[in-house]
Amino acid sequence: MVYADYTKKETRFIEGIMKKHGPKLDGPMRVFEPACGSGRLLESLAARGHSVHGFDLNKHQVAFAKNRLKVKGLQGRVWRDRLQDFSVPKAARYDIAHCFVSTFKYIDTEAGAVSSLRRMAAALRPDGLLLLGLHLTDYKNSPPDHERWIGRKPGIRVVSDTWSAPANRKSRTEAMRTRMRITEKGETRLEETLWDFRTYSPNEVRALLRRVPSLELVVCHDFHYDLKSTRALDLEYTDVIIVLRRR
Ligand SMILES: C[S@@+](CC[C@H](N)C(=O)[O-])C[C@H]1O[C@@H](n2cnc3c(N)ncnc32)[C@H](O)[C@@H]1O
């Protein structure tokens, strides 16, 4: 619910970036979402006729995502797996894969990140695209941060506050905390999650990409998902969508 406002924009962006930078397709796209969460993008892309596959580590998210496709009468494949060492169904080859909302930063080691990117690349057809949405770190200027997202549905309101602590350059971590205030049927409950994200400066992204030569950097955009405005991979703007192509 809290990311729902972005879903339409992201869906159109995925379609648009494919037209602009991907191989020419005669029909719908075969889309892959590593760490698909509740399946909001699986649903919106499937509803537009694309074939969707995705996995998540959290079994509740997997069950939710499967059910949301089923109740809408949509096709898709969702399974439980880990970003670091996932596998895809036999013979699956995707036109495009995407991993937004800094989800890639849950992978807590460089070896895990390399393995994950290699697997994502191998799951793509030649010239297929991989979109990574990441908040980059400026180690020289990383004050504590706070973001608020609000989601509403009839009878439910969710206010989600996320705090990040200053990044630690040595350990490549930033401590994160999300508190969700969920009001439903007149009652409010709080849910809190604490975790560490692995941090990436632009140079750390480049160093990671050098270890996965099967992927080439095509272009960067930002979290406004505007196909007409591109960004450099630098610290001018730290919320980037990195567009990679399988060689
Ligand atoms: C911020 S949510 C994003 C979900 C979805 N991609 C979206 O844009 O709505 C992050 C998801 O990553 C999953 N996750 C975290 N660490 C993971 C890992 N190592 N392997 C697979 N999934 C993981 C969580 O369970 C959660 O569903």
Task: State the pLDDT at residue 163.
Answer: 97
pTM score above 0.85: yes
Indicate if ligand 1 lies below 6 Å from the C-beta of 149.
no
How far is Cα 2 from Cα 101, in angstroms, rounded to an integer?
A: 12
Chain centroid to CA 202: 18
Indicate if ligand 1 lies below 6 Å from the C-beta of 43.
no
Q: 81 C-alpha to center of ligand 1: Å?
A: 10
Going edge to edge, which strands form the sheet with 215-222? Answer: 77-80, 51-56, 30-34, 94-99, 124-135, 239-246, 215-222
Task: State the pLDDT at residue 188.
Answer: 98
Closest-CA residue, ligand 1 atom 2, reads 37
How far is Cα 19 from Cα 22, in angstroms, rounded to an integer?
A: 6
Minimum-distance ligand 1 atom for the alpha carbon of 107: 19
Minimum-distance ligand 1 atom for the alpha carbon of 61: 27
The domain ranges of the chain are 4-136+200-246, 145-197
Q: 144 C-alpha to center of ligand 1: Å?
A: 23
Indicate if ligand 1 lies below 6 Å from the C-beta of 58.
yes
Chain centroid to CA 4: 14
Pick the CATH number of 145-197 from 3.40.50.970, 2.20.25.110, 3.40.190.170, 3.40.250.10: 2.20.25.110
Minimum-distance ligand 1 atom for the alpha carbon of 33: 6
CATH 3.40.50.800 fits 4-136+200-246, yes or no: no
Q: 42 C-alpha to center of ligand 1: Å?
A: 13
Task: State the pLDDT at residue 168.
Answer: 97
Cα→Cα distances 208→25, 48, 94, 173, Å: 30, 33, 22, 16
Q: 211 C-alpha to center of ligand 1: Å?
A: 23
Task: State the pLDDT at residue 161.
Answer: 97
Q: 87 C-alpha to center of ligand 1: Å?
A: 16
Task: State the pLDDT at residue 241.
Answer: 98
Indicate if ligand 1 lies below 6 Å from the C-beta of 61.
yes
The DSSP code for 199 is: P
For ligand 1, pick from 78, 85, 86, 103 the residue to mutate: most ligand atoms within 8 Å of CB.
Answer: 103
What DSSP line would sit under 118-136, residue for residue? HHHHHHEEEEEEEEEEEE-
Cα→Cα distances 199→101, 116, 158, 202, Å: 13, 16, 27, 10
Residues of the chain with pLDDT under 70: none
The two tokens of residue 163 are 């705090």
Indicate if ligand 1 lies below 6 Å from the C-beta of 79.
no
Does this chain's domain 4-136+200-246 share its CATH topology with 145-197? no
Task: State the pLDDT at residue 99.
Answer: 98
Indicate if ligand 1 lies below 6 Å from the C-beta of 109.
no
Minimum-distance ligand 1 atom for the alpha carbon of 99: 6
Tokens 């180690």 appear where? 139
**Residue 194 burial class via C-beta count within 10 angstroms: exposed 0-12, middle 13-18, buried 19 and up:** exposed
Task: State the pLDDT at residue 192.
Answer: 98
Question: Amino acid identity of 143?
Answer: P
The answer to whether the beta carbons of residues 208 and 199 sit under 8 Å apart is no
The two tokens of residue 126 are 């030649």
Indicate if ligand 1 lies below 6 Å from the C-beta of 103.
yes
- For residue range 86-135, list pLDDT tens digits in order: 999 999 999 999 999 999 999 999 999 999 999 999 999 999 999 999 99
